[in-house]
Amino acid sequence: MRRLPPLTAIEAFVQVARLGSLKAAAEELSLSSPALSRRVQALERFVGRPLFERRHQALRLNDDGERLLAQIAPAIDRLSDAVETMMSGTEVMRLRLNVLPLFAAQRLIPKMPALRARHPQLHLDVDTGGHSLARLGDGIDVAIILAPMVEPAFYARRLDRNKVHVIGARSLVDGPNPLVEPRQLSRHTVLVHRDMPDTFVEWRQAAGLDELVPMAVDHFDSGSLMLEAAAQGIGVAFMLESHYADARDDRLVKLFDLDVDSAYSYWFVCRPRALNQRPVRIFHDWLIEALGAV
């Protein structure tokens, strides 16, 4: 039988590679940073080449490290699941899901009890970090993203179609100088999500107001914070119809009676081969049914 490096060295390598930080990986594994560094170095000595580019306190995978991670990370995840199944005495299927926090809070978590009742053996590890498509197959099995389209290298299923809503605080229409005309936005701050940078431009063009310039455009990477900022009167949010409807926040109102189709949709995305994995297929089929996806 061929020799293998210590499992502890492989585990250390995978954690550092995924987290991009020796300190964060050490905390995850309950080790000191020097102890973790020695384990990573032991693996590098075993394979006979460096696996990281070392820059001050940060570690970044080099090309050899990327290739090794792509081959061994899925095996480590399956090994972890197998041990968990043995310890629990029941079959455990684990899905590693990347999802935007607002979608998770509004549309996924409320439906999760039904998924648990139907498939009690399926468990989700939820990740809300960025760069989801780049991490598919490496620590992430499935991503739910917000985008106009998905490149054909991935399997993608559109989960909805939406319209752009202009959302603001109720005080904007109930106050002494109500906001009733789109041109009045020139006196207001516009709030735009970084994952939907063209939303305001789409709406402005559809409204025939190409010359409209708001007081400012502020960008957010959190839909929940955008809704709260709008409710507090900090700005006027350009978001999707589903975001407004699912918020169910009496402090918010839809501004202007203007329907504009959005180019952005939520998508279920995975690598094509991942559909052969039972947890992925179960979650995919349940999600499509639960959302009534288009």
Per-residue model confidence as pLDDT tens digits over 1-17:
567 888 888 888 888 88
Per the structure, how many domains does the chain have? Answer: 3
Residue 31 falls inside a structural domain: yes
| pLDDT tens sequence across 188-232 | 999 999 989 989 998 999 889 989 999 999 999 999 999 999 999
Residue showing tokens 């964060």: 24
Last residue of a domain, which of 64, 83, 102? 83
CATH code (residue 29) = 1.10.10.10
2 in any annotated domain? no
- The CATH number assigned to the domain holding 186 equals 3.40.190.10
The owner of tokens 């992430």 is: 140
Question: Reduced to 3 states, what is the DSSP secondary structure of residue 195?
Answer: coil
The domain boundary residue, chosen from 48, 83, 118: 83
Residue 290 tokens, joined: 């639960």
Question: What confidence category does residue 30 fall into, taking pLDDT thresholds of 50, 70 and 90?
Answer: confident
Choose between 83 and 226: higher pLDDT.
226
Which tops the pLDDT comparison, 24 or 164? 164
Q: Please choose, from the candidates 217, 186, 181, 178, the residue with its C-alpha nearest in 3D space to the C-alpha of residue 199.
A: 217
Instruction: Say whether both 257 and 234 belong to one domain.
Output: yes
Which token pair is 199?
A: 């939303």
Confirm whether 45 is domain-assigned. Answer: yes
Selected residue with higher pLDDT from 244 and 84: 244
Say whether both 191 and 277 belong to one domain. Answer: no
Measure the CA–CA gap between 99 and 143, rounded to whole angstroms: 6
| In a domain? residue 99 | yes
Give yes or no: residues 171 and 287 share one domain.
no
Has residue 1 been placed in a domain? Answer: no
pLDDT reading at 87 higher than 70 = no
- Helix, strand, coil percentages (3-state) for the chain, rounded to 5, are 45, 25, 30
Between CA 18 and CA 73 the distance in angstroms is 9
State both tokens at 207.
């409204």
pLDDT score at 60? 82
Residue 39 lies in a domain: yes
Confidence of residue 107 (pLDDT cuts 50, 70, 90): very high
Tell me the residue range of the domain where 147 lies.
91-158+266-291
Query: What's the pLDDT band for 293 if we cut at 50, 70, 90?
Result: low
Q: What is the pLDDT of residue 29?
A: 82
171 and 247 in a common domain = yes
Q: Tell me: do 171 and 244 sit in the same domain.
A: yes
Instruction: State whether 69 and 122 are in the same domain.
Output: no
Task: Give the mean model confidence (pLDDT) for residues 274-282.
Answer: 89
Task: Tell me the average pLDDT of the chain.
Answer: 89
Q: 16 and 71: one domain?
A: yes
Question: Alpha helix (H) ranges present in the chain?
Answer: 7-19, 22-29, 33-47, 63-88, 101-103, 112-118, 132-135, 171-174, 199-206, 223-231, 241-247, 278-291
Average pLDDT for residues 156-178, to the nearest whole number? 91
Residue range 88-115: average pLDDT? 89
71 and 136 fall within a common domain: no
Q: Is the pLDDT of residue 89 over 60?
A: no
State yes or no: pLDDT of 132 exceeds 60.
Answer: yes
Same domain for 186 and 49? no
For residues 124 and 244, state if they share a domain: no
Domain annotation covers residue 130: yes
pLDDT classification of 248: cutoffs 50, 70, 90: very high
pLDDT given at position 176 = 80
Residues 286 and 144 in one domain: yes
Q: Which pTM was predicted?
A: 0.70
Q: What percentage of residues in the chain have a pLDDT greater than 90?
A: 57
In a domain, 252, yes or no: yes
Higher-confidence position of 84 and 188: 188
Bridge-based pairing state of the strands 142-147 and 265-270: antiparallel
Q: Are residues 154 and 271 in the same domain?
A: yes
